[in-house]
Structures are given as C-alpha cells and as structure tokens.
Amino acid sequence: MPLYLEIIVCVSLLIGGAFLLVGSYGLVRLPDIYMRLHSPTKASTLGITGVLLASMVFQSHLKGFLSIQELLITLFLLITAPVAANMIAKTALHQRTKPLDKTENQALMETVRDREAPKPPQD
Amino acid sequence: MLSWTILIVAVCICVALILNLWRLMKGPTISDRILALDTMYINAIALILLYGIYVESALYFEAALLIAMLGFVSTAALCKYLLRGDIIE
Amino acid sequence: MKLFPMPFHSLLLFVVWLLLNNSVSAGHMVLAAFFAITIPLLVNGMRDEHPKILKPWLAIRYVLMVLKDILTANVEVALLIIGPIKKLKPGFVAVPINISSDLGITVLASTVSLTPGTVSAEVSKDKAWLYIHALHLDNEAELIESIKQRYEKPIKEIFGC
C-alpha cells in the first residue's frame, strides 16, 4: 500500500475514532436527556463518516477499482440520525422528563408536548 | 502504521461502547436507554468496518448496512411504541 | 401511462442498485434499469403529492452548505461536550416558520438537527412553529434569525412554497 494512501486511511480513522469516543463521552457526561441528545446525533455522525471514508479508500485500493458503496451507509445515517433524534426528543417530552433546572423557557414544554402554538407571556 | 492505528481506533470504539453500556444500565429514563442503544449500533457499525479493514475483506460491508437499517428501524419502533402505545396504527 | 412517473426516484433506484452491487457491469445495468422503471410504476399510485424541486442548482448549493455546516457543528459540539458543562445554558426555543409543505418542514427540521448546537423537537399542529432545543443558548433572537436566514430562505426558494 502506498504511503500517501496509508496516511489518508490512518488520519480519517483516527478522526472518526476520536469523534465516536467524544460522542459517547458526552452521552455519559451531560446532565439531562435533552442535552445528551446532542452528542450522539452530531459527534457520532462525523465519527462514522470518518471510519467509512477510511474503509472506502482502503477497499478501493484492495479491489483495484473505485469502490464507493460505503457512501450508501453514510448517506443513510445522515438522513436517519436527525429523524431518530427527533423521535427520542418527542418521547422524552411525551413522558414529561424534567429538564435541567437552569434550562431556559421551561414554560414552553407543555405547549411543545401538546403541539400548540406558544402562548404569549402572561404578566 | 496501519495496524497500530487500527488498534488505537478499536480501543477508542470499545471504550465508547462501554460508556454507552453504562448509560444503558443507568438510565435514568427510558428515553436515555433508547438513545444509548441508538449510539451503540452506530459504534457497532464502526467496529465492524474496522474489522473489515483489519482482515482486508469486503464481506463486512453488508453486515454494516444491515445493522444501520435495523438499528434505525428499531429506534423508530421503540419510540413509536412509547409515544402511541402501538407500533403499526 | 408515463414511462417515468417519478424521474428522481428512478435515478436514485438505479444508482443505489449499482452501489449495492458495487459494479457497473452490463448485467447489473440492465437489472438496475428494470427496477428503476417498474418500481415507480407500481408505487406511483400510493404516494402523496410532494412539491417539485424548482431550483436544482440552489438545492445542490444548499446541500454543500449544509455539509460544511455539519463539519463545523461537529467540532463546535465536541468542544462544548469536552469543555466545562457548568457554563452551558440549555434552553427551548420556538422558531416561527412559514413553509407550507410537509417535505419542506422535514428538510428544515433535519437540517436544524444536524447543524450547530440545536436539535428539533416538535412541530406545532398548525405547522407555524418549530420547537428546538439548544445546547448552549447565547442569544435567542440571533439564533432564530440565523435559522430563518440561513436555512429557511433557501428551502422556501427551492420548493417554491
């Protein structure tokens, strides 16, 4: 394997691995479910893209022709990650999971749950 | 160089999987557990692709694709069940 | 009966079949063309009406911009996760939207989920409000304005509604 290809594969693998680790670390570290949602949807998506890119370059070299079928998984994950995050957020809201105390606009939560327009502030 | 990188990245992903498992055990709510499962299948795809690079085989692509599809469908089905009490209405 | 009732989906089926088999041999081309023609004919009656993409070039530019934003979003969120979490100020935000089509709202909500520090949580029943959760809410008005300017305007132009 030529050196420049090996460097490309190694760098994208390392970036991917680092982001996957950060995504899972955020899942453990962040304090409430709504904040935890952010780390897997974003960090893990980039992480998996890095690993898939490395796999694409490596398989292309192995087979001797351009192999871009890994793009299918990347595209699929890019499309499904926000949908999954949205459904989990809906589930958490539906079960009235309490957000962190310092969360702003907590009054919105009930209107969000009932899918209504926000009420004007009462004062 | 590549074999060392694969080792390092494999350790990263395994640590990530253990962290997910901790969140899966601890909860505290059921949406946290679904989120942990969702992240776990993404990490599993990465691990399988990494193994494909390690053994220099293209066979593992299909496995990764299947996990990606089934993982998303199961997340959607679990959420739907909790939201509506039913999966297919 | 038209041969290609769904031209975009036909193209997508053709490309995905070739990608799945990872080959461009004549046999797979014929099979891909067969699927690209017959599957849309079979499912055409089952789908809802969707708005057409009016400006394909703008759509491509939009996709490229979103890909760039995903990259910056990832780095930004990764830094927020590693950094001190005591300083984070999470919050819910209601963003007024005026896209009428379901497809447009779906694209907007997915884009918002993939870009810096925000996850879309819910759409109100009258399709006039998009509720999002922000990981670090600095300036609410600025966030709403940036979503409207950066993402909603091009989507409205692409689908023309």
Longest CA–CA span in chain B (Å) reads 53
Question: Does residue A120 fall inside a structural domain?
Answer: no
pLDDT at A123: 47
Give a yes or no: residue A121 inside a domain.
no
C79 is a domain residue: yes
Q: What is the pLDDT of residues C88-136, one digit of tens each?
A: 888 888 888 888 788 888 888 888 888 777 888 888 888 888 888 888 8
% of chain C with per-residue pLDDT over 90: 1
Same-domain check for residues C35 and C80: no
Number of domains in chain C: 2
Measure A67 CA to nearest chain C CA, in Å: 7
Question: What integer pLDDT is reported at residue B89 of this predicted model?
Answer: 62
C96 to chain A, any CB pair closer than 8 A? The answer is no
Q: Do C144 and C85 have their domain in common?
A: yes
Establish if C147 belongs to a structural domain.
yes
Give the pLDDT mean for A5-25. 89
| Partners of residue C92 on adjacent β-strands | C133
- Interface check for B55 against chain A (CB to CB < 8 A): the answer is no
Q: Are residues C79 and C33 in the same domain?
A: no
Q: Highest-confidence range of B35-49, C76-90, C108-122, by mean pLDDT?
A: B35-49
Q: Is the pLDDT of residue A122 over 60?
A: no
ipTM of the complex, rounded to two decimals: 0.86
Residue A123 lies in a domain: no
Q: Say which amino acid occupies B35.
A: L
Q: For residue B30, is pLDDT > 60? A: yes
Query: What is the predicted pLDDT for the residue at B88?
Result: 67
Full residue range of the structural domain in which residue C120 is found: 71-159
Question: What's the domain range around A33?
Answer: 3-113
**A84–chain C nearest CA distance, Å:** 10
B3 at interface of A, judged by CB pairs closer than 8 A: no
Residue with tokens 């939009």: C62
Is C31 within a domain? yes
Q: How far is B32 from chain A (nearest CA, A)?
A: 6
- The bridge status of strand C91-96 relative to strand C118-123 is unpaired
pLDDT score recorded for residue C59: 84
Looking at the structure, tell me whether residues C79 and C143 fall in a common domain: yes
pLDDT value, residue C48: 72
- The Cα–Cα gap between A116 and A119 comes to 8
The pLDDT mean for chain C works out to 82
pLDDT level of residue B14 (50, 70, 90 thresholds): very high
| Distant-in-sequence, close-in-space partners of C111: CB < 8 Å, separation ≥ 6 | A82, C66, C151, C155
Based on the structure, what is the number of domains in chain A? 1
- DSSP secondary structure string, C3-47? S-SSHHHHHHHHHHHHHHHT---HHHHHHHHHHHHHHHHHHGGGP
Strands (E), chain C: 91-96, 118-123, 129-134
DSSP 8-state code for residue A102: T
Nearest residue, CB atoms, C77 vs list A31, A38, A118? A38
Q: What is the mean pLDDT of residues A71-97?
A: 87
Chain B residues whose CB is inside 8 A of the A95 CB are 29-31, 82
Nearest chain A Cα to B63, which residue? A73
Domain assignment present for residue C2? The answer is no
C121 φ/ψ angles, rounded to the nearest 5 degrees:
-105, -40
The answer to whether residue B37 neighbours chain A at the CB level (below 8 Å) is no
> Under an 8 A CB cutoff, do A17 and B8 touch?
yes
Q: What is the CATH number of the domain that holds C86?
A: 3.30.70
**Domain contains C88:** yes
* Residue C146 counted as domain residue: yes
Rounded Cα distance between A91 and B77, Å, is 12
CB contact under 8 A, C133 and A89: yes
User: Which band of pLDDT confidence, cut at 50, 70 and 90, is reported for residue B18?
Assistant: very high
Chain B residues whose CB is inside 8 A of the A46 CB are none
Which chain A residue's Cα is nearest to B43?
A20
Region A58-80: mean pLDDT is: 84
Q: Which of C103, C137, C101, C102 is nearest to C119 (CA)?
A: C137
